[in-house]
Every structure is written in structure tokens, then in C-alpha cells.
């Protein structure tokens, strides 16, 4: 049961796609196709496209997010982008994506520092967690996600993450084994893990036992499977990868998320 009316969020992670020449047009098209009441929409283009997407979305209620952020505000970190540098360009950021963990060997401790840095700079932050196939097949999925949460969030004060902003901090559960592999998670799989995530948040010390924290699903989300996930009361939206580059897909995904948002609003009316 939903103890509070958590927001419904759909965030698109464009990864290393688009250029400043075409990102703005894509953002405008997606914005126009996804105007659905009750759904928080976020687009996360590559760093070099942030300004183009920001300008394209000016005057709309679609937010712009960065795909990563550095854990320090300034310093001798060649090629890195800090949270203060994103002022005026983005209001959201993704932290701890599985591809950053894999390709940049990011640790839970480092990811936790990124969360603190991002929230300290006022960026709404999506923390990604999730297990690989070997962990799930060995029965270690919950253990892995629990360790990721404690490792990144445990050392800090949970009160600093969300504050008074109901979408200041959220989590995306992304089973790595379901991202671009052709293997699909089920809605019940995701709901079961999200229940475990909220139990861990409660143990860490989050208010309301973690029930106030939006948790998204992020494993190869598409129009063909979004219904299964949004039908689960514990799932509060989606972190969309490749499908977020396709206006038709995003339109269908946001439309389905809107049904959940409307149902939640009616339940508390």
C-alpha cells in the first residue's frame, strides 16, 4: 500500500547519443509528445548537449539532468564536471549508474560522496543500484543492493538527501542483467527488490521508513513492458535508456505513467 502519494517520475537517460546540433529538436519533440498531468519528466543528455536541451525546453515543465557529477566542487580533475558547474544548465543528475560503476570502477563510497555533493548543490539526484546476473543467479541480489545502499548512503545523514523536496532524492533500481541483454525482469521481480530497498532505507534512518522516497525501475524500459512495472504500487516511474531517444516510445511510457499518477491522485482525493 502507498502510505504517501509519492510523485511519478519518468527520466530519460540519453547516454552517449545526440550532438548539440540535434539534441534540441529531439527534446522539443519529446516534450510536445509527453504532456501528461501528474508525471515529472526529466531528460538527461550528454554534457555537451545540456545547453541546447535547456534552451529547447525553456518555458516547459520538463527538467534537464546531467548523467553524472563529480564528488568534489573544484580541483585538479581533468575532464570532470562538478555540481556547481551545472548551475543554469541542469537541475537533476544521475549518480551511480551501472555503466559508471562498470566502466569507471566507481565504488559505493565514491558514489555516496557524489550524492552528497549533488544534493549540497541543490541538484535533484537519482541514485542507481542493482545487481548483475551472476549475483541474481547465486541468490545474492538483495545482498548486493543492500550493500550498495549502505555503502553509499549509510555514512551520511539521510535528512540531507531529500529535505523538504519530495523529488530531491530518488532511487532507480536497475537490474544490470536486464539492460540491453534481451533478458527481461518481471514487474514482480522489481517490486520485490523495491520492497527490500525501502526496508534498507528504513534501517539506514530515512524518515517514514523510506516510504517517502520515490523508487524508479530502470532495466530496458520500453512501451512494451512499462505497463507491467507501473502496475506495481511500489514503483514510482522509470529511468529510461535507449527508448528515451524515440519520441513514440517516450510518449507511450509517459502516458502509462500518467495513469498511475491519476490513480494515486484519485486515491487521496
Strand, coil or helix: what is 238?
A: strand
Q: Could you tell me what percent of the chain has a pLDDT over 70?
A: 99
Query: pLDDT digits over 50-100, tens only?
Result: 999 999 999 999 999 999 999 999 999 999 999 999 999 999 999 999 999
Residue 69 burial (CB count, 10 A): 25
| Cα distances (Å, whole numbers) of residue 129 to 96, 101, 170 | 7, 10, 11
Q: Which of 35, 58, 31, 25 lies closest to 43, judged by CA?
A: 31
Gap between the Cα atoms of 250 and 240, Å rounded: 8
For the structural domain made of 34-90+99-243, what CATH number should be given?
A: 3.20.20.70
Gap between the Cα atoms of 98 and 229, Å rounded: 20
The answer for 145, left when phi > 0, alpha when psi is -120 to 50, beta otherwise, is: alpha
What pLDDT score does 220 carry? 87
**What's the whole-number mean pLDDT along residues 238-259?**
98
- Residue 124 C-alpha cell reads as 535533484
Gap between the Cα atoms of 192 and 52, Å rounded: 39
- Residue 177 C-alpha cell reads as 542483467
**Catalytic pick among 31, 99, 174, 249:** 174
Overall pTM surpassing 0.75 (yes/no): yes
* pLDDT band with cut points at 50, 70 and 90 for residue 2: very low
Burial of 132 (0-12, 13-18, 19+ CB in 10 A): middle
What pLDDT score does 4 carry? 62
Mean pLDDT of all residues in the chain?
94
Tell which wins on pLDDT, 124 or 184.
124
Gap between the Cα atoms of 162 and 166, Å rounded: 7
Query: pLDDT digits over 107-121, tens only?
Result: 999 999 999 999 999
Strand, coil or helix: what is 114?
A: helix
- Residue 145 C-alpha cell reads as 543492493
Query: pLDDT digits over 126-179, tens only?
Result: 999 999 988 988 999 999 999 999 999 998 888 888 778 999 999 999 999 887
The answer to whether residue 1 scores a pLDDT higher than 50 is no
The answer to whether residue 269 scores a pLDDT higher than 50 is yes
Mark whether 174 is an active-site residue: yes
Query: pLDDT digits over 12-36, tens only?
Result: 999 999 999 999 999 999 999 999 9
**Catalytic pick among 31, 71, 97, 131:** 97
How do beta strands 169-173 and 215-217 pair?
parallel
The answer to whether residue 236 scores a pLDDT higher than 50 is yes
Mark whether 132 is an active-site residue: no
Q: Give domain limits for the chain.
A: 34-90+99-243
Gap between the Cα atoms of 28 and 31, Å rounded: 5
Amino acid at each position: 500500500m502507498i502510505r504517501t502519494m509519492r510523485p511519478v517520475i519518468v527520466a530519460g537517460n540519453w547516454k552517449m547519443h545526440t550532438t548539440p546540433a540535434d539534441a534540441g529538436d529531439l527534446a522539443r519533440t519529446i516534450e510536445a509528445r509527453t504532456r501528461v498531468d501528474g508525471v515529472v519528466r526529466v531528460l538527461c543528455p550528454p554534457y555537451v548537449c545540456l545547453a541546447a536541451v535547456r534552451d529547447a525546453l525553456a518555458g516547459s515543465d520538463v527538467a534537464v539532468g546531467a548523467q553524472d557529477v563529480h564528488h568534489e566542487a573544484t580541483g585538479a580533475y581533468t575532464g570532470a564536471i562538478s555540481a556547481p558547474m551545472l548551475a543554469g544548465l541542469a537541475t537533476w543528475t544521475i549518480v551511480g549508474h551501472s555503466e559508471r560503476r562498470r566502466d569507471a570502477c566507481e565504488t559505493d563510497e565514491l558514489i555516496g560522496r557524489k550524492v552528497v555533493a549533488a544534493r549540497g548543490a541543490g541538484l535533484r539526484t537519482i541514485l542507481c543500484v542493482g545487481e548483475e546476473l551472476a549475483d541474481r543467479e547465486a541468490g545474492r541480489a538483495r545482498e548486493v543492493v543492500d550493500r550498495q545502499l549502505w555503502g553509499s548512503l549509510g555514512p551520511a545523514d539521510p535528512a540531507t538527501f531529500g529535505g523538504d523536496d519530495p523529488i530531491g532524492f530518488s532511487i532507480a533500481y536497475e537490474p544490470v542483467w536486464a539492460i540491453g541483454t534481451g533478458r527481461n525482469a518481471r514487474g514482480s521481480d522489481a517490486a520485490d527488490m523495491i520492497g527490500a530497498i525501502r526496508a534498507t532505507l528504513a534501517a539506514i534512518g530515512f524518515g517514514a521508513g523510506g516510504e517517502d522516497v520515490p523508487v524508479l525501475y530502470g532495466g530496458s524500459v520500453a512501451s512494451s513492458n512499462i505497463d507491467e512495472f507501473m502496475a506495481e504500487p511500489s514503483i514510482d516511474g522509470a529511468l529510461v535508456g535507449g527508448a528515451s531517444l524515440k519520441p513514440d516510445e517516450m510518449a507511450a511510457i509517459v502516458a502509462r505513467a500518467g495513469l498511475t499518477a491519476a490513480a494515486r491522485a484519485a486515491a487521496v482525493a
